[in-house]
Amino acid sequence: MTVPTPLPSAPPRLLVSVRCVAEAERACAAGADLVDAKDPECGALGALPVATVRALVGRLAGRAVTSAVAGEPALENMEAAVRAMAATGVDYVKVALPPGCSPALLSAAAAAAPGRLIAVLFAEDAPDAGRVPALAAAGFAGAMVDTAGKDGRRLPDLLDGPHLSAFTAACRAHGLLSGLAGSLRISDIAGLARHAPGYLGFRGGLCRDRDRRLDLDAGAVAEAVRTLRALPAREAA
């Protein structure tokens, strides 16, 4: 399928992380723009089994953009983990990148999912805009910031507005998709939208009792969609 790239002037699109085919259907029906497969029982970026992701992609059949987490693999296993998840047919593959990855490692990982690999940088590592050019040069499709610790602290608690704006601006300048995530709530949407990310990512804030390990709440997904759609368009950067 052709994957749409949000325009800088458009409000962010909604990424919803799901753990199974049933939740993927629920998120898609409620209006999620991007359905993201990951296992909330296995940390911030836990990977689902390849077979589950393949089934999820097949069930949605192009009705929403899809992504899947390849996890937080050791550096020597990163290329293989990305390649295995890319083989499911998912539109994008996400992988955690610790600080200090070499250019050769970045290029090898990107080559395992050509034009489809998204770098996930953890807010606790204070990633700055200076990492973005290397990702673009290596062939990554995008980059997002998330929180590693799911301890109640949200992305805005860890990184300030100028930091987030610089990150998303660098992504736009280098032709990369950008995303912001990390224990977000619907009430965070308006504030984070000011930084003009391509996507805002949610899991726990759209689950029953705001617990990322519980079922996805279709009503909360629909509310997030409405909130995003009601945002005014921004001036193109």
Locate 57 and state its tokens. 């992609």
Residues classed as catalytic:
38, 94
Helix pair angle (21-30, 218-229), 10° resolution: 40
* Phi, psi angle pair for 156, to nearest 5°: -65, -15
Say which residue the tokens 């295995």 belong to. Answer: 84
Compute the distance between CA of residue 72 and CA of residue 74 in angstroms, rounded to an integer: 7
